[in-house]
Amino acid sequence: MHPARAAHDEEYEDLLGLWGDLESGLSVLLARPQHVQDFSAKVRQFDHWLQELVTHDIDAALYLMFQLAATSTVGYSASHALVCATLCHILSRGFDLPVNERNALVRAALTMNIGMTRLQDDLAVQRDPPSSAQKEAIASHPLRSQDMLEQLHITNDLWLDLVGQHHTRVSERTALDQLSPVDRLTRILGTIDRYAAMISPRKSRVGRSSTDSVRELVGRQVQERDEVGLMLVRTVGLCPPGSFVRLDNGDIAVVLRRGTQANMPVVASLVDRQNHPLSEPRLHQTASGKPRIQSALARNAVTVELNHRTMVRLGQFAAAPPSSATRLLTQPAPLL
């Protein structure tokens, strides 16, 4: 194997491992916060780790985040927190938030459900609707989470206030820049929280497709004034990396990288029109013509297992100059 390619493979193997480690570490932090020495410093450490992974390759980070969240083994609460924090970090760049607001937003996303970590994990695998006691716990968890964070010596008022009111609906009719910082961040976090919940599968329901989730959030009538929903589409796309789509040639594909337009990403076919898994993924630049995306698919609609290192590497090659991408893609890349 060429040394450069070997180094590249190792780099993305490390990226996959680091993302899994971040999710596992966050799971421990949220499950047993009272046993964590200097909880505030640990949250800052995870935040810094998250920033490094996203900065390294935002498309690879989105791919791994969405894929691992759909198949997480550490519990729904941690994977949901990581999805929300990652999207908050990405949107904070789009909105050009001040550093103090960005930090409060991401750290609130990581810890907003700390008052119901075990319950959130239980609800994700529970087939029955929540009981009356569970509904009461869900309704009271924002303030309970805020109280827990205060007991864990979190002193940042914006972070605390945001956690305490993260289920408060802030009107979309007021522009974000006309809101107070806590209301502005509440609206951003609330939209992302709902989006992440919609796309995540649970025992009681399957996850929605990313496109259906965005449409549910912004609504056709309020789309022009829903700044957060529109920024979500602009930054991660209608079909973000890691989501599944059906192409107009009948193939089922996974999205690898965002495109120049929200609905024209780079994808890799996995299953042909006869529903036969392909021996090797087929790369498509949907912005260049056929095939085009016909519809988004929920995770449960796809049964093929993916080799994430191969998919991330393939997506990175798609972003490389044409000559190098062509040369590297001629070498076999196993699907499984």
* In a shared domain, residues 326 and 181: no
**C-alpha 298, offset from chain centre:** 14
Domain final residue, candidates 203, 236, 269: 236
Q: Which of 212, 215, 186 is nearest to 199 (CA)?
A: 212
Domain with residue 118: its CATH number is 1.10.3210.10
Q: pLDDT tens digits for 286-335?
A: 988 789 988 888 777 788 888 888 898 888 877 764 443 333 333 333 33
**C-alpha 329, offset from chain centre:** 27
pLDDT of residue 186: 97
Peptide bond into 241 cis (omega under 30): no
DSSP string spanning 222-260?
A: TGGG-HHHHHHHHHH-SS-TT-EEEETTS-EEEEEE--S
Angstrom distances, CA of residue 60 to CA of 33, 65, 92, 223, 241: 29, 8, 19, 28, 7
For 143-150, which contacts have Cβ atoms below 8 Å and span 24 or more sequence positions?
Answer: 143/115, 144/115, 144/116, 145/111, 145/112, 145/113, 145/114, 145/115, 145/116, 146/115, 147/115, 148/33, 148/114, 148/115, 149/111, 149/114
Q: What pLDDT tens digit does each residue of the chain (336 aa) get?
A: 444 444 455 565 677 788 888 989 999 999 999 999 999 999 999 999 999 999 988 999 899 888 877 766 568 889 899 999 999 999 999 999 999 999 999 999 999 999 998 888 888 788 888 899 989 989 999 999 999 999 999 999 999 999 999 999 998 888 999 999 999 999 999 999 988 877 765 444 444 555 565 555 555 434 445 889 889 888 888 888 988 999 999 999 999 999 888 788 999 999 999 999 999 999 999 988 789 988 888 777 788 888 888 898 888 877 764 443 333 333 333 333
* In a shared domain, residues 232 and 249: no
* In a shared domain, residues 65 and 186: yes
Look up the domain containing 304 and give its range.
237-336
* In a shared domain, residues 166 and 313: no
* In a shared domain, residues 213 and 75: yes
Six-digit token string for 195: 């989006």
Torsion of CA 241, 242, 246, 251, to 10 degrees: 100
Q: Which of 130, 134, 158 is nearest to 146 (CA)?
A: 158
pLDDT of residue 302: 85
pLDDT of residue 264: 87
Helices 117-125 and 132-151, axial angle in degrees (round to 10):
150
* In a shared domain, residues 225 and 328: no
CB-CB neighbours of 244 under 10 Å:
27
Tokens 């935002």 correspond to what residue? Answer: 58
Q: Give the phi and the psi of residue 335 in degrees, each rounded to 5.
A: -80, -40
Domain final residue, candidates 236, 270, 290: 236
Which alpha helices (H) appear in the chain, and where do they start and end? 3-31, 39-56, 58-70, 76-94, 99-111, 117-125, 132-151, 157-164, 181-199, 210-218, 227-236, 308-318, 322-329
Residue type, 295: S
For strand 252-257 and strand 266-271, is the pairing parallel, antiparallel, or unpaired?
antiparallel
Rounded Cα distance, 256 and 263, in Å: 13
- Based on the structure, what is the number of domains in the chain? 2
pLDDT of residue 295: 85
* In a shared domain, residues 228 and 246: no
Rounded Cα distance, 168 and 87, in Å: 19
* In a shared domain, residues 255 and 207: no
* In a shared domain, residues 41 and 118: yes
* In a shared domain, residues 243 and 192: no
Q: Which of 115, 101, 99 is nearest to 147 (CA)?
A: 115
Residue pair 82/103 in contact (Cβ under 8 Å)? The answer is: no
* In a shared domain, residues 225 and 255: no
Helices 308-318 and 58-70, axial angle in degrees (round to 10):
150
User: What is the enclosing helix (H) or strand (E) of 171?
Assistant: none
Collapsing DSSP to helix, strand or coil, 267 comes out as strand
pLDDT of residue 177: 92
Domain final residue, candidates 179, 213, 236: 236
Q: Give the phi and the psi of residue 269 in degrees, each rounded to 5.
A: -65, 140
Residue pair 189/176 in contact (Cβ under 8 Å)? The answer is: no
* pTM reported for the whole predicted model: 0.85
Residue pair 25/46 in contact (Cβ under 8 Å)? The answer is: yes
* In a shared domain, residues 253 and 325: yes
